[in-house]
Structure 1
């Protein structure tokens, strides 16, 4: 069974240019994802304000993302569950400073927390050669989102137990591992969701669906920033992170029951064989 990612598309010059420019864009975007929350936390000392900043970034994203029209489907509902309830990134500056004793301006712990999910995604992408062989894509997406929730529960527990039994450094790495696990399963989920979206949508609706998809994937975490920020202000960072993971598991189970057609979604055997080869 093929294990490593398929690099065949990179042989196409146009795709290679698109892929390369996208890397530059993502690097710039991720710099702001780290710098802005850290600066706001340093100024205010509140994860609530860190989360609130995401709300302001959501408005232009929704407006321009839905510029061509709006059409939501069950896939967007499933996406939104993980993105809103289970993305604790607004808590990273507070966790790094208060739990792992980073300096107020940020340090190693902050960098590790922000890099962990991305590192997991990279590993998940590198070893994604098996994904085209998945036929029950709907069920696979449900499982991946549930695993994301479990990973966030583990992350929250690691934060809550930091300093107990083991040293802070050990719990920091345990937290990083759980975040990386979440990033890996999220990458698998994203690959399957994108394949499903492009397969089932018609040429006329594909652009609009892609716009909604982008709004959900990029906008969901911003709503999650707000929810986690204010939850941490009242319950603490560990409870907010772990509780968000629990909500993901519960909500995705309810979504699976509410939308059985999504769970039953399969790729035709012939189409799956073409993708695998």
Structure 2
């Protein structure tokens, strides 16, 4: 694994803070639906969490992109971290009440999603300022590893806490992680807006959208990911597959398997710097994701199903690495925040619509038919997109005219007391 990015002080701070926060956030991802289930005993009430979170995250991401291009990115990151800590404290207080209410869970979950959307563009836009062009892929791999560690360990501990210790304990751990993360982030150096940055506005967001549409290679990264997730996102059907294989206890393994595959790619990612045709790499990886989902849908035993899910997770990670590298290497610094907001939109729409597609097709043609047909449609979509997006397929980082926009402003030592 290429660890050159870790030589950068601020990158180390961001990654350490991210590991801590991600760990706590995944615990809460388990705790909130579990508490709603206990309070309401309603499938609909639990499923409503996704709706409550999606809209605030999308709107927050778009506005957060505008903020990232107009304000000090460090300030945005830290203030959002404080806001999420306050909402985590709200979850804890509600859980400690003699009769906890369920409506604060929706308010806090929606608020955390909105703040996450506001914060993420600043986080994503800050990292390219810290890295050399040839370190981008390695930095993305390290970021991915941070996420995968949290997605494996967090839910496991969250499940243990909510079932064995108590829901309040889970929220208390999440709150503690936000406090630790805030202390770390306060030591980041300032990251002021580029010279001449405009105030955040709807007009500024539109400028970012127009820029994205003007570059086929960027649109390719969004469209390929949305297509892969829409056609071949099988997670909503995992409980049914576990029952179909007469192994309900394997459900947790299904959710962890894709993260295991992704983590394996992160740990062995030194090879990515030798790949320069990033668009082609994304298309191939998305096609492998679809093919692996087909294999999962056809699997007749748990072991085979897990193998295909590990392969799918690895392919998804490869796609993510090269998409992120294309964004970080070629988007001008003054637009990077707004484009990060658009990236967040693509991340949100594909999986959400994909879960709906999987459930609807399962009701219409059966469980296995939904999964297998989705994987085949994903592979077909990748082939079609390769033909209709020739500049995306031909993209080569060595010859791209969109070079990385270097920052010229001096970096000053951070004052932890000044936010």
Q: TM-score range by the shorter chain?
A: 0.7 to 0.9
**Aligned residue-pair number:** 248
Output the CA distance in 2 between the equivalents of 1:114 and 1:91.
Answer: 11
1:64 aligns with 2:194: no
1:148 aligns with 2:148: no
Coordinate RMSD, CA, aligned: 2.7
* Alignment TM-score, normalising by the size of structure 1: 0.80
1:172 aligns with 2:302: yes
Asked if 2 retains the 8 angstrom alpha-carbon contact of 1:91 and 1:228, the reply is yes
Output the CA distance in 2 between the equivalents of 1:190 and 1:54.
Answer: 23
Secondary structure of 2:270 counterpart: coil
Which residue does the alignment assign to 1:250?
380
Asked if 1 retains the 8 angstrom alpha-carbon contact of 2:245 and 2:302, the reply is no
Asked if 1 retains the 8 angstrom alpha-carbon contact of 2:228 and 2:290, the reply is yes
Output the CA distance in 2 between the equivalents of 1:264 and 1:124.
Answer: 24
Output the CA distance in 2 between the equivalents of 1:7 and 1:120.
Answer: 20
Output the CA distance in 1 between the equivalents of 2:31 and 2:240.
Answer: 13
Bigger Cα displacement from structure 2, 260-269 vs 233-242: 233-242
Residue 247 of structure 1: how far off its partner (Å) = 1.1
Matches within 5 A, 1:76-155: 76-102=222-248, 107=249, 109-155=250-296
Bigger Cα displacement from structure 2, 74-83 vs 110-119: 74-83
Output the CA distance in 2 between the equivalents of 1:234 and 1:61.
Answer: 31
Which residue does the alignment assign to 1:167?
none
Which structure has more RCO (C-alpha within 8 Å, separation ≥ 6)?
1
1:7 aligns with 2:153: no
Per-residue CA deviation, residues 173-230 of structure 1 (Å, 9 max, x unaligned), is: 1111111101111111111111111122112211111111122124421221122122
* Alignment TM-score, normalising by the size of structure 2: 0.54
Residue 17 of structure 1: how far off its partner (Å) = 2.0
Output the CA distance in 2 between the equivalents of 1:15 and 1:50.
Answer: 37
Output the CA distance in 1 between the equivalents of 2:391 and 2:333.
Answer: 22
Per-residue CA deviation, residues 53-97 of structure 1 (Å, 9 max, x unaligned), is: 534432112111111225242321111111221111111122223
From 7, 13, 18, give the equivalent of 1:17. 13
Unaligned runs of 5+ residues in structure 1 are: 163-170, 271-277
Matches within 5 A, 1:139-218: 139-158=280-299, 162=300, 171-218=301-348
Unaligned runs of 5+ residues in structure 2 are: 67-204, 213-218, 401-419
Residue 28 of structure 1: how far off its partner (Å) = 3.9
Larger radius of gyration: 2
Bigger Cα displacement from structure 2, 68-77 vs 148-157: 68-77
Change (3 A) 1:175 1:41: farther
Stretches (4+) displaced over 6 A: 35-42, 49-52
Bigger Cα displacement from structure 2, 216-225 vs 181-190: 216-225
Matches within 5 A, 1:233-248: 233-248=363-378
1:220 aligns with 2:340: no
Which residue does the alignment assign to 2:75?
none
